Amino acid sequence: MTRGHRLLGYGDEISVTPRATLRFMVSAEGLERYRADIVRLRCADDSPGGPGFSEIVVPSAANGDYRARFQPILAGSYAIVPENQRLLRLSSLTAQAFIWATTPRLGPQAILGTWSQGMGSGFALVIEGDGCLGLRLAGRGGDFVSVTTGVPVPARTWLFVAATFDAGTGQTVLYQEPVDPGLTPHRPTRVAARVEGARADSGGRLLVAAWTESQRANRPTAGGFFNGRIEAPRLADRALDPSQIQVLKQPIPPIGLGEALIGCWDFARDIPATRIVDVGPNKFHGQTVNLPTRAVRGHRWTGAEMNWRYAPEQYAAIHFHDDDLYDCGWETDFELTIPGDWPSGCYAARLRADGDEEYIPFFVRPETGRPTADAVYIASTATYQAYANGLKAAYDQASESVAGQFAKLSSEDVFLSHHPEFGGSTYDTHRDGTGICHASRLRPMLDVRPRSHLWTYDADSLIVDWLAAKAIPCDVITDEDLDAEGAGLLKPYRVVLTGRQPEYVSTRMWDGLAGYLKGGGRLMYLGGNGFYWRIAFHPQLKGVLEVRRAEGGTRAWSTAPGEAYHSFTGEHGGLWRRQGRPPNLLTGVGFTGQGFDTGTHYRRTAAAADPRAAFIFDGVDGDVIGDHGAFGGAAGIEVDRFDRGLGSPPHALVVARSENHSAHWQRVIEEFLAMHPMVTGQTNALLRADMTFFETPAGGAVFSVGSIAWGGSLATDGYANDVSRITENVLRRFLESQSFPMPPLPDDAPGDPDVAGTEGVVEGFNRPA
């Protein structure tokens, strides 16, 4: 079977309990029928040298043949106000708003209006195809009439724009004014024209940042998407004079306009929600579609306040994108009710037709309070979403130099480069160059599939397969489950295991894991670059997260000044390290560097001889550990180090440490106040993976490998290797009932090489031993 991407799908949930129902949405292009089977996945990777791809078809009522159909993806964000009598009776009008356009030369873009492209009716304040502000009105014969300023709209400049139309006289006036004329070369523009045979009769609903493209029976479609920010849209049912237009600019609806005012929308209200609030007398509230970005700077932002919660009037804009996507909105093709006797684990709906194949992964977790094992594995679904549908391999010009090797494009990379409507990853930018800060799972995630990139989902399956090979019972939960239920979800388990890269973590996830450890839990952190970015899940919408890449960090784009706080929750975004919670506080280690050419090995340290660590190395010979595996070595890709200056416990044991990283390896940028050349794997002593063990005050313990590549070395020689043995030793000891006593705390030693410092350290090269 091949993955030709004619079959695509997603589920409405990614984690389900027995007796819950899961819906699958499928689009099949050029196919008449397809076969669906539910499979339990053990290993989702088929790379050479690995354990081999493994799946078992599970008997299910959902297994069977289904009629195929194509379902489109309707990307692009906008806001919509439902049809009402005031809009239907509209003839004369005034439409106005503040705008900050990012791609004004990218074709016609609607700002505000009722224009229906399919019906040729209504009106729209627009940026026309020539980049100039215009007003579109319905003309004769289904065509439209457009009046423009003839002056191009400047990019990334706040403007006040308005248009009036008098249906009785045909008089049309356009206004285009820079908000701060003293700081821009652009001058105010006012253009008046008389048009014959034009009308503004409405097709019904009002859209902001788009127009109605067509009227489908079950789902009207939008087009003419605006890229950029819109603030304070206003609509009146008569042609206002200049003094009235100036009054209507104010945040508070003017009393003097009386019944002329149709809508006065204030985007500073309900920022975490999808609602747009009409503060005028009619209360014509609306909804955003496809999650445009909120909590962004508006035209009144001064820089005096960085948190939108304390000055919402300065964040009264919404940033719309023509490639935003939250929910594909596809219709359900088939359903699956999880039988009560299905074991917890990794599953998928496997779709096949005419040699094409697709998988829709999901996880079955136990019901709350009813664990089926003493160990639980947390699937890093937030990280899967953050990386999903990434385009960096195809478009990032620096990817080859960073990786130290030629780019290898998968079929998913090529397909996504031709289909941006599937939505990019949070490592990509929108078409207007701004960073993608939302990631939804209510869409096909082409690289969250078996046999894809050996990066997130399929690479984590190497750990799941190892557990099965060792016959160690283990439940499976997801990041969403931990966010929803916190420490209570983990409490019944003796051991918690992570995947290879639990990078994206919400506050409730962090607090839940910290609470579990405070209660005496045991944690096996089997990866690297974990607990790095703070994220927020939406409080009402399911399956979507937000990340603001603020204040440092190794990142693909940077959050704009003043926009570091999540719109979903109001929490400060960026690195957990910048929140005063470095990963070292949880796991003993934190992200220190990365390199994508090849991995290397660990070497035991003197601390490995400590009797506290004897169980770790039982049956392991030699000092070199993990000089094998799918990534060239067990210490690879991204690595974490022990650092007491960042919160690593003083009594922790660093029992092994990686060495011999190449010149393609680089330290993370958040640790430098000034740049210098001593930042590579060959010149910087702090670029290493530290295998770490420590006990917690309540009798629990933590074991961290500090490397993403660790899981890729488990399967060497049929799991008969040092990496597998160490992992098994630790897990079996952690599963025992005997607690871990706390050792005496050591005194801080002057010049301790494991105390690199706090934020912004530039040490780490030519350090004394």
Backbone angles phi, psi at 393, to 5 degrees: -60, -35
Whether the per-residue pLDDT at 758 is higher than 90: the answer is no
CB atoms under 10 Å from CB of 751, counted, come to 8
Could you tell me where the beta strands, DSSP code E, fall in 29-158? 33-43, 54-57, 64-67, 78-81, 93-101, 109-113, 123-127, 132-138, 144-152
With a CB cutoff of 8 Å and minimum separation 6, the contacts of 765 are 676, 678, 679, 683, 684, 685
Band of pLDDT at residue 674, cut at 50, 70 and 90:
confident
Question: Is there a contact between 528 and 707 (Cβ–Cβ < 8 Å)?
Answer: yes
Question: Is there a contact between 676 and 539 (Cβ–Cβ < 8 Å)?
Answer: no
Residue the block writes with tokens 């009716």:
121
Band of pLDDT at residue 406, cut at 50, 70 and 90:
confident
SS3 call for 393: helix
pTM of structure: 0.95
Whether the per-residue pLDDT at 384 is higher than 90: the answer is yes
SS3 call for 694: strand
Bridge partners of residue 41, in order along the sequence? 55
Nearest to 665 by CA among 593, 734, 741: 593
Give the DSSP letter string of 458-501.
Answer: HHHHHHHHHHHHTT---EEEEHHHHHHHTHHHHTT-SEEEE-S-
Q: Which two three-digit tokens encode residue 478?
A: 């997801």
Q: Specify the pLDDT at position 48.
A: 74
Q: Specify the pLDDT at position 116.
A: 92
Whether the per-residue pLDDT at 409 is higher than 90: the answer is no
Backbone angles phi, psi at 245, to 5 degrees: -65, -40
With pLDDT > 90 as the criterion, what percentage of the chain qualifies? Answer: 81
Q: Specify the pLDDT at position 183.
A: 77
Question: Is there a contact between 3 and 356 (Cβ–Cβ < 8 Å)?
Answer: yes
Whether the per-residue pLDDT at 382 is higher than 90: the answer is yes
Tell me whether residue 360 is exposed, middle or buried, using C-beta atoms within 10 angstroms of its C-beta: 0 to 12, 13 to 18, 19 or more: buried
Q: Specify the pLDDT at position 762.
A: 39
Cα dist. 300→183, 303, 314, 442, 677 in Å? Answer: 14, 9, 5, 35, 42
Whether the per-residue pLDDT at 766 is higher than 50: the answer is no
Q: Specify the pLDDT at position 399.
A: 66
Whether the per-residue pLDDT at 759 is higher than 60: the answer is no
Whether the per-residue pLDDT at 716 is higher than 70: the answer is yes
**What is the mean predicted confidence (pLDDT) over 396-420?**
77
Cα dist. 705→262, 603, 625, 640 in Å? Answer: 61, 12, 11, 8
Bridge partners of residue 93, in order along the sequence? 165
677-707: pLDDT as tens digits = 888 988 999 999 999 999 999 999 999 999 9
103-154: pLDDT as tens digits = 999 999 999 999 999 888 999 999 999 999 999 999 877 788 999 999 999 9
Q: Specify the pLDDT at position 408.
A: 76
Nearest to 546 by CA among 534, 531, 535: 535
With a CB cutoff of 8 Å and minimum separation 6, the contacts of 659 are 600, 601, 602, 603, 688
| Cα 196 from Cα 503, distance rounded (Å) | 60
Give the DSSP letter string of 254-283.
Answer: PGGGGGGEEEEEETTTTTTSSEEEE-STT-
Cα torsion at 289, 294, 297, 298 (round to 10°)? 50
Band of pLDDT at residue 673, cut at 50, 70 and 90:
confident
The number of C-alpha atoms within 13 Å of 560 and in the hemisphere containing its C-beta is 17
Q: Specify the pLDDT at position 218.
A: 63
**What is the mean predicted confidence (pLDDT) over 343-361?**
96
Q: Specify the pLDDT at position 751.
A: 46
| Cα 112 from Cα 97, distance rounded (Å) | 8
Nearest to 96 by CA among 160, 11, 179, 166: 160
Whether the per-residue pLDDT at 531 is higher than 50: the answer is yes
Q: Specify the pLDDT at position 252.
A: 85
State the DSSP H helix or E strand holding residue 242, giving kind and residue range, or none if neither.
Answer: helix 242-248
Bridge partners of residue 680, in order along the sequence? 666
With a CB cutoff of 8 Å and minimum separation 6, the contacts of 760 are 671, 672, 673
Which is more confident, 759 or 235? 235
**What is the mean predicted confidence (pLDDT) over 565-584?**
97
With pLDDT > 70 as the criterion, what percentage of the chain qualifies? Answer: 94
| Cα 737 from Cα 735, distance rounded (Å) | 7
Question: Is there a contact between 349 and 24 (Cβ–Cβ < 8 Å)?
Answer: yes
Question: Is there a contact between 708 and 501 (Cβ–Cβ < 8 Å)?
Answer: yes
| Cα 16 from Cα 725, distance rounded (Å) | 32
**What is the mean predicted confidence (pLDDT) over 4-12?**
93
Bridge partners of residue 654, in order along the sequence? 692
Question: Is there a contact between 754 and 654 (Cβ–Cβ < 8 Å)?
Answer: yes
Whether the per-residue pLDDT at 403 is higher than 70: the answer is no
Which is more confident, 412 or 285? 285
Q: Which residues of 267-279 are buried (b: 16+ CB within 10 A; e: fewer)?
A: bbbebbbbebbbe
The number of C-alpha atoms within 13 Å of 593 and in the hemisphere containing its C-beta is 30
**What is the mean predicted confidence (pLDDT) over 315-319?**
98
| Cα 710 from Cα 111, distance rounded (Å) | 51
Q: Specify the pLDDT at position 752.
A: 53
Whether the per-residue pLDDT at 761 is higher than 80: the answer is no
501-512: pLDDT as tens digits = 999 999 999 999
Give the DSSP letter string of 121-165.
Answer: BSEEEEE-TTSEEEEEEE-GGG-EEEEEEEEEPPTT--EEEEEEE
Residue the block writes with tokens 């079929």:
411
Residue the block writes with tokens 């009776």:
89
533: left (phi over 0), alpha (psi -120 to 50) or beta: beta
Find the largest Cα–Cα distance for the chain: 94
Identify the sign of the CA torsion 260, 263, 268, 270: positive
63-106: pLDDT as tens digits = 999 999 999 999 999 999 999 999 999 999 999 999 999 999 99
| Cα 363 from Cα 366, distance rounded (Å) | 10
| Cα 298 from Cα 305, distance rounded (Å) | 12
Nearest to 315 by CA among 100, 123, 619: 100
Whether the per-residue pLDDT at 480 is higher than 70: the answer is yes
Whether the per-residue pLDDT at 442 is higher than 80: the answer is yes
Whether the per-residue pLDDT at 1 is higher than 60: the answer is no
Q: Which two three-digit tokens encode residue 581?
A: 């919670």
Which is more confident, 355 or 757? 355
197-229: pLDDT as tens digits = 889 886 689 999 999 998 765 667 999 999 999
Q: Specify the pLDDT at position 253.
A: 81
Q: Specify the pLDDT at position 3.
A: 66
The average confidence (pLDDT) of the chain is 93
Question: Is there a contact between 208 and 124 (Cβ–Cβ < 8 Å)?
Answer: no
Pairing of strands 574-575, 533-537: antiparallel
Question: Is there a contact between 384 and 505 (Cβ–Cβ < 8 Å)?
Answer: no
291-312: pLDDT as tens digits = 999 999 999 999 999 999 999 9
Whether the per-residue pLDDT at 337 is higher than 90: the answer is yes
Eight-class DSSP state of 743: P
Cα dist. 259→233, 263, 282, 485, 692 in Å? Answer: 17, 10, 9, 50, 70
State the DSSP H helix or E strand holding residue 418, giving kind and residue range, or none if neither.
Answer: helix 411-418
Eight-class DSSP state of 650: T
